[in-house]
């Protein structure tokens, strides 16, 4: 690793964490639907939290549960993100559908037996945008956990021209985190049914978060 890369990995994650904290504490934030997932936690159930890749930046501040591990890609960007997440107390499992996915999936499946929640972006790391990959489906099927949709939206921010239209909120925006209803894999109904129900649940949850902003007369970015 060159000295430039060492400097990059030493400084950017810390700066990124400070950016996330600064944005979060400047915004007017509401949490919706959290009581549903709290009921699962109180029953001793751990879950899979699924959110779209475009919402990744602010998800470090979305979680107020018993403990979670994150699936993050093995790319250089993924390494920076993984290091940034350590500043919020999260441990990363490295891998994705394009690199290291099989070993990461096995690790996540093994962790399904431990008292941790798992968090991932089912359309990451390269898309297509808002389309479910097989990983979350198979993890729910084999691990037996509920998948809980999680969404973030805000009324002021910038959308990048990346494949996912990555969202960067602006300071002092009004923002909403919303937890959706848990979706369980039904062995009798099969994979296609679960994929369809989960995709609809994620979009329904995101739309409900956006409608909450719209009730204040504030369209989501």
Q: Could you tell me the residue range of the domain that residue 100 belongs to?
A: 3-214
Does residue 221 form part of some domain? no
Does residue 167 form part of some domain? yes
Does residue 220 form part of some domain? no
Q: Render pLDDT for 45-83 as a digit per residue (tens, 0 to 9).
A: 999 999 999 999 999 999 999 999 998 877 777 788 889
Does residue 144 form part of some domain? yes
- Strand pairing partners for 32? 178
**Among 37-46, 68-77, 130-139, 183-192, which is the least confidently predicted range?**
68-77
User: Bigger pLDDT: 125 or 182?
Assistant: 182
Give residue 62's pLDDT: 97
Q: Render pLDDT for 6-17 as a digit per residue (tens, 0 to 9).
A: 788 889 999 999
Does residue 219 form part of some domain? no
Q: Render pLDDT for 76-121 as a digit per residue (tens, 0 to 9).
A: 777 888 899 999 999 888 765 445 556 766 777 777 778 899 999 9
Q: 1 pLDDT exceeds 80? A: no
Does residue 179 form part of some domain? yes
Give residue 95's pLDDT: 61
Model confidence band, residue 4 (pLDDT cutoffs 50, 70, 90):
confident
Here the CATH number for the domain that contains residue 141 is 3.40.1130.10
- Cα–Cα distance between 176 and 195 in angstroms, integer? 25
Contacts of 211 (CB under 8 A, 6+ apart): none
- Cα–Cα distance between 205 and 177 in angstroms, integer? 10
- List the end-to-end C-alpha distance of the chain, in Å, as a whole number: 38
Give residue 104's pLDDT: 66
- Tell me how many domains the chain contains: 1
């Amino acid at each position: 690793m060159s000295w430039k890369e060492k400097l990059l990995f030493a400084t950017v994650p810390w700066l990124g964490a400070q950016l996330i904290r600064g944005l979060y504490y400047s915004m007017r934030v509401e949490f919706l639907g959290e009581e549903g997932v709290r009921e699962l936690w109180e029953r001793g159930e751990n879950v899979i939290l699924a959110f779209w890749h475009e919402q990744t930046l602010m998800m470090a501040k979305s979680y107020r549960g018993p403990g979670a591990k994150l699936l993050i890609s093995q790319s250089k960007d993924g390494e920076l993100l993984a290091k940034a997440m350590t500043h919020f107390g999260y441990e990363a499992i490295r891998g994705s559908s394009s690199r290291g996915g099989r070993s990461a999936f096995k690790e996540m499946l093994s962790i399904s037996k431990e008292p941790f929640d798992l968090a991932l972006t089912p359309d990451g790391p390269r898309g297509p945008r808002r389309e479910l990959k097989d990983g979350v489906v198979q993890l729910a099927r084999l691990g037996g956990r509920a998948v809980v949709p999680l969404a973030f939206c805000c009324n002021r921010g910038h959308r990048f021209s990346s494949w996912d239209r990555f969202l960067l909120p602006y300071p002092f925006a009004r923002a909403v985190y919303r937890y959706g209803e848990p979706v369980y894999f039904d062995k009798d109904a099969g994979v296609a049914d679960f994929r369809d129900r989960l995709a609809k649940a994620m979009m329904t949850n995101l739309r409900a978060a956006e409608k909450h902003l719209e009730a204040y007369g504030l369209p989501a970015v």
